[in-house]
Amino acid sequence: MEQIEKEKEASRLIKLIRGKFGEYGDVEMPLNQIKIISDMLEPYCYGGGLIKMIEITCYKCEKCSKIYTDKEFAKKCCTPKYCEYCKCELPHKYYYTACDSCREKCKYERAEKIDFKDYIKNNPNGWITTKCGHIISVDELIDRIEDGEAFDYVYGTNVQYIEINYDQIITQLQEEVMFEDDFEIFSNEQLNEICEFASNWNAKNRFKYYEEDRKVAIII
Ligand SMILES: [Zn+2]
Ligand SMILES: [Zn+2]
């Protein structure tokens, strides 16, 4: 079997298996399992129509019945988790190892502290990030402070630009044709054309937006 056909067959089978797992809800499929499946595909060849039966061991959480291919994930599923700093119990399915308030404390401690007056001096038309993660203008912050809202500190912002990502487009195009039976490879000329268009568009349209700069805490 040609390498490319093997890869196509592997992705098809993995998709199929993932679909089956999907029926059980949130099932994680670790990469090593996917690798095992790809390796087992050897006898699954086109012409001969041979199919090798494979079995995967799964683990079910006794409490919520979710199924995992990874034993350690299954074990941890419904066991209570605690904040690594204050030891309070974390909500079920909480992604972080520390609670919201401890995470905020750490974030603030790590940030460089700047006085609000100094920040305004350097960023007269600037933007800031509130503790809840909202990006607002310095003017709006001043208005809200004057209206009596309490801010002890906020975070800074970084300028970002919205750009067409050339690599992502090419990858997406190539992924799409890979699943067709009669796919053709794009020529270098065709790909270069997309690259050129993206570069020109990005240079011409500098769409600005702001994102949180958690390295700077502005003391109000
Ligand atoms: Zn569970
Ligand atoms: Zn905590």
Per-residue pLDDT of 110-134, as tens digits, reads: 999 999 999 988 887 789 999 999 9
User: What values do phi and psi take at 48, rounded to 5?
Assistant: -70, -20
Pick from 70, 72, 68, 94: which is nearest to 81 by CA? 94
pLDDT at residue 47, as a whole number: 45
Asked whether residue 46 carries a pLDDT value surpassing 50, the answer given is: no
Asked whether residue 90 carries a pLDDT value surpassing 70, the answer given is: yes
> Which has the higher per-residue pLDDT, 28 or 133?
133
> Which has the higher per-residue pLDDT, 183 or 59?
59
Question: What is the CA(49)–ligand 1 centre distance, in A?
Answer: 40
Mean pLDDT of 97-107: 95
Question: What is the CA(78)–ligand 1 centre distance, in A?
Answer: 4
Mean pLDDT of 93-105: 92
Helix (H) or strand (E) holding 31: helix 31-40
pLDDT at residue 125, as a whole number: 74
Closest ligand by atom to 25 CA: 1
> Using 50, 70 and 90 to split pLDDT, how confident is the model at 187?
confident
CA distance 71 to 176: 34
Q: 34: burial class by Cβ within 10 Å (0-12, 13-18, 19+)?
A: middle
- Tell me the average pLDDT of the chain: 81
Instruction: Tell me whether strands 207-219 and 112-115 are parallel, antiparallel or unpaired.
Output: parallel
Predicted TM-score (pTM) of the model is 0.59
CA distance 50 to 46: 8
> Which has the higher per-residue pLDDT, 93 or 31?
93
Asked whether residue 24 carries a pLDDT value surpassing 70, the answer given is: no
> Which has the higher per-residue pLDDT, 49 or 107?
107
> Using 50, 70 and 90 to split pLDDT, how confident is the model at 170?
confident
Question: What is the CA(72)–ligand 1 centre distance, in A?
Answer: 12
Question: What is the CA(25)–ligand 2 centre distance, in A?
Answer: 29
Asked whether residue 145 carries a pLDDT value surpassing 80, the answer given is: yes
Question: What is the CA(90)–ligand 2 centre distance, in A?
Answer: 8
Mean pLDDT of 164-177: 85
Q: In what order do the strands lie in the sheet with 207-219?
A: 112-115, 207-219, 153-162, 127-129, 135-137
- Residue 63 gets which letter from DSSP? T
Question: What is the CA(89)–ligand 2 centre distance, in A?
Answer: 8
Question: What is the CA(104)–ligand 2 centre distance, in A?
Answer: 9
What residues have a C-beta under 5 A from ligand 2, the ion? 83, 85-86, 99, 102
> Using 50, 70 and 90 to split pLDDT, how confident is the model at 26?
very low
pLDDT at residue 4, as a whole number: 66
Question: What is the CA(2)–ligand 2 centre distance, in A?
Answer: 54
Contact 165, 215 (CB under 8 A): no
Question: What is the CA(11)–ligand 1 centre distance, in A?
Answer: 29
